[in-house]
């Protein structure tokens, strides 16, 4: 009997020891917040992800034909002026992001080089989903999905046929960004049940992260600020009812439009406040900085002007502003390659030049340093972009720079 008691006692101690070792590490793994001290350069880094690099999306197949993806524009790109580097060739090949094995390679690289989450550009229209296979069949079914958090930016802008666009021809509206209130509520239920409940979904203080790209389209869906606020409040209530602490809502704001369909809200500061957003953020630097030099504007010039905007945003908005670091800009692959290049309107825009890995690393380090004095839960920034190949802003390796932009992300924390 004494032997059994002794064994039981020893076993209990071992069990407690194992629990003490395992539980904290599990909590750390599931915690979305960076565990930092004041002055640290460690931040939570999220990269936007554009999911149009898989074949046979049902809408794309109907419009573009069997097997089409945005890789076709990447392959067809040509140099448009002296010193212009196109096409950019992916080091990993023209992979199918809806394949879990291909997505696992992306997840592995992101996690290894200091990216903590993907923010998927997520499309939902009145008649349902668009480009969802990347996330639902690729990312969520990858064997290493637990290595990376993910979240959604509802890309609620109008989708027009500009892949590619021929100059001086009509831009056809394919999928309006405006939703009916009924479709919005249906969308919210889908988001909560399909994504929020996934163990890898990014949460801030126990609240799932969800950002909205186009505030003007959001307002158009409900007709007034009051009705829009009621709709967002319903979204929050549904999220709490699903067992979460609440919903972390972010508004993507800009000072100047990029896409032809974009409109700048009359007073974004007032609108963010009245709609009850928890924070504001940006998608890309050129939403705040015009590229005035033809055909290319210096990266450092754009960076410094954006930093001025960041200061302005912090002073204007009543909620935290989470900054953006953009790797570059070149939307020429979305322009018809037989047309002349010029600053005629998206996708015919000026480009950013000298966005070397070293310059990108310095911009990342500047961002980390500015965030280092914030409370740990607010040391968050996003990157444009993991894979905006047809807008010239991507972290994925190409045949010229290899992994250098990912190395910049990693090394900027040192």
Per-domain residue ranges of the chain: 40-411
Q: What's the pTM?
A: 0.90
Give pLDDT, residue 10: 38
Q: What is the largest CA-CA distance in the chain?
A: 91
Q: Are 189 and 156 within 8 A, CB to CB?
A: no
The distance from CA 148 to its chain's CA centroid, rounded to whole angstroms, is 13
Per CATH, the homologous superfamily of domain 40-411 is Glycosidases (3.20.20.80)
Beta-ladder partners of 251? 212, 280
Radius of gyration of the chain (CA): 22
Confidence of residue 41 (pLDDT cuts 50, 70, 90): confident
Confidence of residue 5 (pLDDT cuts 50, 70, 90): very low
Q: Where are the beta strands (DSSP E) in 142-295?
A: 149-154, 159-160, 173-175, 203-204, 207-212, 248-252, 279-281
Q: Are 239 and 206 within 8 A, CB to CB?
A: no
Confidence of residue 255 (pLDDT cuts 50, 70, 90): confident
Q: Are 253 and 280 within 8 A, CB to CB?
A: yes
Q: Are 87 and 332 within 8 A, CB to CB?
A: no
Tens-digit pLDDT profile for residues 341-380: 999 999 999 999 999 999 999 999 999 999 999 999 899 9
From the CB of residue 26, how many other CB atoms can be counted at a distance below 10 Å? 10
Tens-digit pLDDT profile for residues 224-233: 999 999 999 9
């Amino acid at each position: 009997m004494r032997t059994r008691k002794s064994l039981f006692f020893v076993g209990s101690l071992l069990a407690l020891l194992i629990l003490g070792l395992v539980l904290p590490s599990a909590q750390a793994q599931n915690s979305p917040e960076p565990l930092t001290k004041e002055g640290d350069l460690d931040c939570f880094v999220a990269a936007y992800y554009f999911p149009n690099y898989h074949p046979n999306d049902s809408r794309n197949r109907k419009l573009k034909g069997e097997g089409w993806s945005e890789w076709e524009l990447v392959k067809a790109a040509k140099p448009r002026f002296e010193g212009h580097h196109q096409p950019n060739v992916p080091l990993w090949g023209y992979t199918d992001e809806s394949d879990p094995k291909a997505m696992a390679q992306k997840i592995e690289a992101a996690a290894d080089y200091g990216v903590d989450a993907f923010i998927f550009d997520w499309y939902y229209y009145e008649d349902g989903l668009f480009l969802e296979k990347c996330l639902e069949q690729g990312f969520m079914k990858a064997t290493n999905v637990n290595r990376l958090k993910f979240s959604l930016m509802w890309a609620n802008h109008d989708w027009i046929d500009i892949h590619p666009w021929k100059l001086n021809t009509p831009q056809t509206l394919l999928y309006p960004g405006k939703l009916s209130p009924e479709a919005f509520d249906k969308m919210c239920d889908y988001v909560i049940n399909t994504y929020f409940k996934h163990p890898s979904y990014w949460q801030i203080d126990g609240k799932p992260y969800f950002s909205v790209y186009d505030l003007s389209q959001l307002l158009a869906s409900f007709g007034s600020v009051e009705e829009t606020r009621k709709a967002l409040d319903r979204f929050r209530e549904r999220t709490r009812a699903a067992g979460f602490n609440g919903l972390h809502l972010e508004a993507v704001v800009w000072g100047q439009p990029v896409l032809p369909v974009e409109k700048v809200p009359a007073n974004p500061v007032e609108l963010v406040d009245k709609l009850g957003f928890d924070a504001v953020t940006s998608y890309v630097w050129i939403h705040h900085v015009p590229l005035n030099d033809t055909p290319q504007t210096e990266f450092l010039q754009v960076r410094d002007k954006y930093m001025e905007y960041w200061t302005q945003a912090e002073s204007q908005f009543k909620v935290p502003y989470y900054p953006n670091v953009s790797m570059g800009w070149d939307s020429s692959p979305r322009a018809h390659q037989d047309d002349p290049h010029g600053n005629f309107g998206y996708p015919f825009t000026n480009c950013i030049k000298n966005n070397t890995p070293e310059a990108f690393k310095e911009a990342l380090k500047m961002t980390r340093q500015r965030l280092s004095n914030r409370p740990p839960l607010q040391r968050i920034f996003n990157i444009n972009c993991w894979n905006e190949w047809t807008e010239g802003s991507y972290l994925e390796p190409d045949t010229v720079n290899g992994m250098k932009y990912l190395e910049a992300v990693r090394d900027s924390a040192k």
